[in-house]
Amino acid sequence: MQFSTGIRLLRTDRVLGSCPAMTRTPDLIHWHPSSWQSRQAQQQATYPDQAALDSVVSELSRLPPLVVSWEIEALKEQIASAQRGERFLLQGGDCAETFEDCESDKIAKKLKILLQMSLVLVYGLKKPVIRVGRMAGQYAKPRSADTETRDGVTLPSYRGANVNRPGFTAEDRTPDPSLLLRGYERSALTLNFVRSLIDGGFADLHHPEYWDLDFVRHSPLKDSYEKVVHSISESLDFFEAASGQPIHESTTTRFYTSHEALHLLLEQSQTRFIPRSQRWYNLGTHMPWIGMRTAALDGAHVEFFRGISNPMGIKVGPSMSAEWVQGLLATLNPNNEPGRIVLIHRMGAKDIEKRLPPLIQAVRATGSPVLWICDPMHGNTETATSGLKTRRFENIVSELESAFRIHRELGSWLGGVHFELTGEDVTECTGGARGLTDADLARAYKSQVDPRLNHEQALELAMRIAGLHSK
């Protein structure tokens, strides 16, 4: 049995159906959904049974898409408007979704906290908020090591529910291609439920469910949150009375999905040519992103992303140089298309002061339109004495405050935030209004990978960004 060494060359494509030899943009003459296979692909699993993998990928490439190109284009337009400072983007969800968590209650709670955060942000920032879940496909994870050792036993690392299982046996950790199908199905189930909830009025401002937060009743955030709710309902009443028309937010509420497009055979299988626009789209999600570990300029992931027409996130960490980020913009957005690029900086509270300003200048020098958003999670991960991975609320707040200030001082617009969060009452990050400590972590630590903000911490962050809650 073989396991991944982290880097390998993959064979040429055998699974895609017909496609045009040349697409509309001349830069893309040599691009194809499988052209990434001639580059080095980091962070890919090595499957023991190649024939089984090929068969799954072939099936996935025939199944209907999860999203459609006009939704993707609508998101791109909204991101273009956020790039001009007219909107704010909220991206959030689990570090890694699991198949077990594909349950109505958990999905509804996650959607609800994202909607409530966005409501607070709309109110405080006085701008429309674009809502993007790390949802319906966030099933593949990059790992810092290919293997994990416990009590002298070494096995491949867990790479997310699409690849293998978290249990620590050789069988659990062997990459299993059938999980890709399960992941596709669960993405479809999640998205179907989210779409139905939104269509059915879950995000309607008049819907009592929208406002009600069980946990807030006993929370130190209660007063601030109730003030927001009260003020919004007063404004609604006023406008409805003045205009004689009910205001229904649900008709205009959109919710978009995103995930790290890490597993390239899966992403390739979801990539389709749309004759109407003569463009390729990854129809597995609205906004895929490139992670920090797979953003090499000459790597397979960048090659894959350069040919798709989706808006795309690019994680920007402390090791990224000015030349690197400029190279990424030149390769991924050679025509300076508005709405296409979202740069997600994740420097860490300690490094942001030094690392971010030169990158803002370097990007500005290219003239390429980007939306800067801040991920204050991934640069602030640490290990508590218990061995559990955690993040301290004060470091997250500190990175966010620095990010807003640095952009403002440089005349740049920080147009969004990216969080790892859940709608549940977990204890994975310390701090926040309830003052969770390291000793609380074990009580409800559920993440298999990175620690998430719980619902209360997530809402507190939204209030702080909106300027509605200070310590």
Residue with Cβ nearer ligand PEP (292 or 463): 292
Site membership for ligand PEP, residue 263 (CB under 6 A): no
Count of residues in contact with ligand PEP, rule CB under 6 A: 9
Q: Which residues make up the interface to Mn ion (CB under 5 A)?
A: 95, 450
Site membership for ligand PEP, residue 378 (CB under 6 A): yes
378 labeled part of a ligand binding site: yes
Strand 371-374 to strand 414-420: parallel, antiparallel, or no bridges (unpaired)? parallel
- 208's enclosing H/E stretch is helix 208-211
> Which of ligand PEP, Mn ion, none does residue 186 bind (CB under 5 to 8 Å by kind)?
none
Site membership for ligand PEP, residue 48 (CB under 6 A): no
Residue 51 Cβ, how far from ligand PEP at the closest point, in Å? 31
Residue 153, φ and ψ in degrees, nearest 5: -100, 130
Among the residue ranges 16-24, 100-108, 288-296, 389-397, the one whose residues contact ligand PEP (CB under 6 A): 288-296
346 labeled part of a ligand binding site: yes
165 labeled part of a ligand binding site: no
What x-and-dash track marks residues 327-356 binding ligand PEP by CB under 6 A?
Answer: -------------------x----------
Beta strands in 350-407 (DSSP E): 371-374, 381-383, 389-391
Amino acid identity for residue 178 in this structure:
S
Residue 142 Cβ, how far from ligand PEP at the closest point, in Å? 5
One DSSP character per residue, 58-79 reads HHHHHSPPSS-HHHHHHHHHHH
54 labeled part of a ligand binding site: no
The alpha carbon dihedral of 224, 436, 421, 77 has a sign of positive
**List of long-range contacts for 187-190, beta carbons under 8 Å, 24+ apart:** 187/66, 187/136, 187/137, 187/139, 187/257, 187/284, 188/66, 188/136, 189/102, 190/97, 190/102, 190/107, 190/135, 190/136
Residue with Cβ nearer Mn ion (293 or 407): 293
102 labeled part of a ligand binding site: no
3 state DSSP class of 49: coil
> Which of Mn ion, ligand PEP, none does residue 315 bind (CB under 5 to 8 Å by kind)?
ligand PEP
Residue 94 Cβ, how far from ligand PEP at the closest point, in Å? 9
- Pair of tokens at residue 79: 């991101």
Residue 150 Cβ, how far from ligand PEP at the closest point, in Å? 22
450 labeled part of a ligand binding site: yes
446 labeled part of a ligand binding site: no
Closest of 294, 279, 263, 76 to residue 187, by C-alpha: 263
Residue with Cβ nearer ligand PEP (299 or 338): 299
Distance (Å, whole) CA 392 – CA 433: 12
> Which of ligand PEP, Mn ion, none does residue 392 bind (CB under 5 to 8 Å by kind)?
none
Residue 315 Cβ, how far from ligand PEP at the closest point, in Å? 4
Strand 312-316 to strand 289-290: parallel, antiparallel, or no bridges (unpaired)? parallel
Tokens 């006993």 -> residue: 218
Binding positions for Mn(2+) are 95, 378, 420, 450
Binding site for ligand PEP (CB under 6 A): 95, 142, 291-293, 315, 346, 378, 450
